[in-house]
Amino acid sequence: MSMAETAVPSAEARASGSSFYTAMRVLPRDKRDAMFEIYSFCRAVDDIADDGGPRPQRRAALAEWRNWINALADGKPAPAGLDHLAEAIRNFDLERDDFLAVIDGMEMDVEADIRAPDYATLDLYCDRVASAVGRLSVRVFGVPRAEGIDLAHHLGRAFQLTNILRDLDEDAEVGRLYLPREAQQAAGITTSDPKAALASPNLGKACAPIIDMAKQYFATAAAIMARCPRQSVKAPRLMGEVYRSILAGVEARGFAPPRERVRVPKHRVLLAVLRHGLF
């Protein structure tokens, strides 16, 4: 059995646990299947970055994915287990560079545990691990090209900043701290040690500007979607609704310990589905 077969056992099964699963399910069959393949790819490379194994081994695994993506983009026969991803690439003209950007983002985590990056490094990371996924997704959704690139830029960053705020404790457990250095220093936090930073009584002050950034990205994304054909933005509207609820929950909960993980109740997702007329 090839690594591809073990890395991608079932695209829909991998997607079923995602916050985006409902949004993917509302798409027509061909688009839904393509989104499952994109998500499955992202999960596969993310698992490599996060598995905690030896760094050389993880680098080699990501390099193999890079080779597979280049082969698929060149129209070569798909490695075993990646036939459906190859089909999605062909059907929706998905860009090689966007897949490779996602791998580049995972390599940032593999090279060294990210701790208190500066704003520029954090923005690059967000572009690679989130906005690049958005650039793939908007091709599937059918968002007009220019608006799609802008939407991926803003919504991807909104999602990733929300993830960072929600997952502070989980990231600290594996030695990572994505809160930007400048925001921490402005709040009087001088350490880059994840657990020490999270123990600071000033953590909320360090998170406040990141919350504001995420809100602005969400607002700009909403304005972009308002200019797009309604059918093309049904899925990203629902995704945005779910993640804005997560951000609101994180802000309402605050950052004093103990910090319970914020989840979106299923009824909130259903209300969002009904609000946007997705069925």
β-pair partners for 177 = 115
> Does some domain include residue 5?
no
- Whether 257 maps to a domain, the answer reads yes
Contacts of 169 (CB under 8 A, 6+ apart): 198, 259, 261
The answer to whether residue 8 sits within a structural domain is no
User: What's the CATH number where 127 sits?
Assistant: 1.10.600.10
Q: Please give the structure tokens belonging to residue 46.
A: 């993310």
**The pLDDT value given to residue 6:** 42
> Considering its fold, how many domains does the chain have in total?
1
Instruction: Please give the average per-residue pLDDT across 201-222, as a whole number.
Output: 98
| 142 found inside a domain | yes
pLDDT at position 279 = 44
Q: Which domain holds residue 73?
A: 16-275
Mean pLDDT rounded to a whole number for the chain: 90
Q: Is residue 4 part of a domain?
A: no
DSSP 8-class letter at 256: S
Mean pLDDT of 17-44: 84
- The reported pLDDT for the residue numbered 69 is 97
Give the separation between CA 237 and CA 167, rounded to whole angstroms.
23
Tens of pLDDT, residues 113-136: 999 999 999 999 999 999 999 999
* Phi, psi at 240, each rounded to 5°: -65, -40
Whole-model pTM over 0.85: yes
pLDDT of residue 2: 42
How far from chain centre, in Å, is Cα 35? Answer: 13
Token pair listed for 77: 């026969």
85 vs 6, higher pLDDT = 85
Answer whether residue 63 is part of any domain. Answer: yes
2, part of any domain: no
Residue pair 138/148 in contact by the 8 Å Cβ criterion: yes
**Residue % of the chain over a pLDDT of 70:** 86
Cα–Cα nearest to 155, from 136, 171, 174: 136
